[in-house]
Structure 1
């Protein structure tokens, strides 16, 4: 089973990487594909261009088994809708291969507002990455969907191509891309919040110099 974890990755940091690794190990995923988005849907557009964000993802996971950079959203024009990405994977892998979409807890709370959310559940399972102490969605319709589809057995996800929901507690790391961008814009060092190789690329490009954008509740449909 392949895991799919997309987002702005503007820049990618240890919060993203640790969560991806923990879900991969918990569910026995063959690999997790990290997909930098092209055109954001639920946030301001990334400060760094797609080519640089892809290079930062590649640098962050270099030598890490089971984590793979995937550029298909950057190669597709228009908004980076999750359902389009999953449809592309289905065309590549066939209808029976189990796929698991990794989604941050905050993003999942707004899942029914996504583009064609019901279709997403026909294309993939969802692994909701929850920080310790987080609460289940307050929306009654989403809670009903969660309870109907939730499983606590990884084998259930491997046995079907799509349609189940898994709740995964992940290590709480108080790191955000917004915080990193602001540190770089102000001349402060964000070292130890992200891999050194990623920081070196960001500093060399100078893409985060100057005023940083406002903090955002959801950086993408996938992001933590």
Structure 2
């Protein structure tokens, strides 16, 4: 599971999903689009538009599944509820992984029932160069008893582990900068897949007075 607002989805998201799938030898990666993020403002672009962009970007990429379960669920998009849904779908013996970026990792101890996340899945943090920080005492207490030193030791069990995972080709792209570029009429070519750029233009997304908030 790789969740997010994907506002908009870009090559950094998609390349990370592909490399996550390869590095952990996963059968598939669910790209889960948040409807209502619990810890930040709801995006101005509708969840359906964001889902459409993810579908356009992922297209027929092997191993990537565009997942709308959080959009179909009422209330805040809690990761625990999503993991519980995936666990029910795949069974108690399946090895489930929730992948998060460093920005989300900083606040993991503040999430809804963070300890319970590990009862459903492993937590893997996708590392970026130069993104280290000093974790809080609460975050340290949450992750240290669960820390694994290798992919092999992580995958021994179906859930409960924690791992930092550097990816071979990290791509630093900012969704905030992309939104600003679109609104000011600057190019986003090669920062998002061509099909995503085409959809943004067709629907007038991220332009002042466009379809944001539909």
Matched, 1:42 2:44: no
In 2, Cα distance between equivalents of 1:152 and 1:65: 28
Aligned to 1:159: 156
Matched, 1:112 2:109: yes
Matched, 1:63 2:60: yes
Structure 1 residues 96, 136: CA separation in 2 closer, same or farther (over 3 Å shift)?
farther
Aligned to 1:196: 194
In 1, Cα distance between equivalents of 2:42 and 2:194: 24
In 2, Cα distance between equivalents of 1:161 and 1:211: 47
Matched, 1:33 2:19: no
TM-score, length-scaled by structure 2: 0.92
> Unaligned stretches of 5+ in structure 2?
none
| Paired residues of 2:109 and 2:142 also in contact (CA < 8 A) | no
Q: Which string of whole-angstrom CA distances, capped at 9 and with x for unpartnered residues, describes residues 137-164 of structure 1? A: 4212322433321213323333211110
CA displacement at 1:20 relative to structure 2: 1.3
- How many residue pairs get aligned? The number is 209
Q: Which string of whole-angstrom CA distances, capped at 9 and with x for unpartnered residues, describes residues 150-203 of structure 1? A: 213323333211110111113342311111111111111111111010011011
CA displacement at 1:59 relative to structure 2: 1.1
Matched, 1:74 2:76: no
TM-score, length-scaled by structure 1: 0.88
In 2, Cα distance between equivalents of 1:83 and 1:114: 9
Structure 1 residues 152, 95: CA separation in 2 closer, same or farther (over 3 Å shift)?
same
Give SS of 2:55's match: helix
Aligned to 2:49: 52
Aligned to 1:207: 205
CA RMSD between the two structures: 1.7
In 1, Cα distance between equivalents of 2:75 and 2:138: 30
